[in-house]
Amino acid sequence: MPDYITPDGHRKLVEEYDFLFRKERPQVTAQVSRAAAMGDRSENADYIYGKRRLREIDRRLRYLQKRLEGVQTIDPTEFEGPTIRFGAYVSVEDESGQESTYRIVGQDEIDTQNGFISYQSPIGKALVGKQEGDEVRLKTPAGSKVLEVLEVRYV
């Protein structure tokens, strides 16, 4: 089963890959080459740090390449209506009257500070398929919680 991602999330992964591959990796490679030309590599901090950074960059590039091959881009602007689907902005209210807004996104786009939650998270799973006006019951470590779906938007 493929992982889903929004067009914005896909663009960010591609931009990160391009930056690492086209800009940072060549700069670090040049730095390592200069450091290697200075002689003794065993005590050369630029050489040691540069080689370590190259390994980190290469590891991240491999990860990004696998992620980009394994994700399916879903454009949430193609959806409309009151049913919660991937990419929706969902406003909810809990029992105490506290309102929150979440966006249902893929795992590469999670940003809990801004309310971006995965469709695979417990809250995401509970919300997907529900509609405006529905009540959603969640089991949390602090106990059971009830959310009322106030609004569903696709932007």
Written in H, E and C, the secondary structure of 47-90 is: HHHHHHHHHHHHHHHHHHHHHHHHEEECCHHHCCCCECCCCCEE
Per-residue burial over 24-52, b = 16 or more CB atoms within 10 Å of its CB, e = otherwise: ebeebeebbeebeeeeeeeebeebeebbe
Identify the DSSP state of 97: S
Distance of alpha carbon 23 from alpha carbon 4, whole angstroms = 28
pLDDT tens track for 75-85: 998 998 899 99
Task: Tell me the longest C-alpha to C-alpha distance in the chain.
Answer: 71
Distance of alpha carbon 65 from alpha carbon 43, whole angstroms = 34
Residue range(s) of every CATH 3.10.50.30 domain in the chain: 76-153
Residue range(s) of every CATH 1.10.287.180 domain in the chain: 3-73
How much of the chain, in percent, has pLDDT values that exceed 90?
Answer: 79
- Per-residue pLDDT at 42: 74
In this structure, are residues 103 and 154 in contact, taking their beta carbons and an 8 Å threshold? no
CATH 1.20.140.10 fits 3-73, yes or no: no
In this structure, are residues 71 and 6 in contact, taking their beta carbons and an 8 Å threshold? no
- Per-residue pLDDT at 1: 55
Q: Average pLDDT over the chain, rounded to whole?
A: 93
Question: Residue 40: pLDDT band by 50, 70, 90 thresholds?
Answer: confident
pLDDT tens track for 93-149: 999 999 999 999 999 999 999 999 999 999 999 999 999 999 999 988 888 899 999
Mean pLDDT confidence for 8-29: 97
| Fold classified for 76-153 | Chitinase A; domain 3 (3.10.50)
Give burial (CB, 10 Å; 0-12/13-18/19+) of 10. Answer: buried
Per-residue CA distances from 66 to 12, 17, 62, 63, 71 (Å): 15, 11, 6, 5, 9
Strand partners, 118: 105
43 vs 103, which has greater pLDDT?
Answer: 103
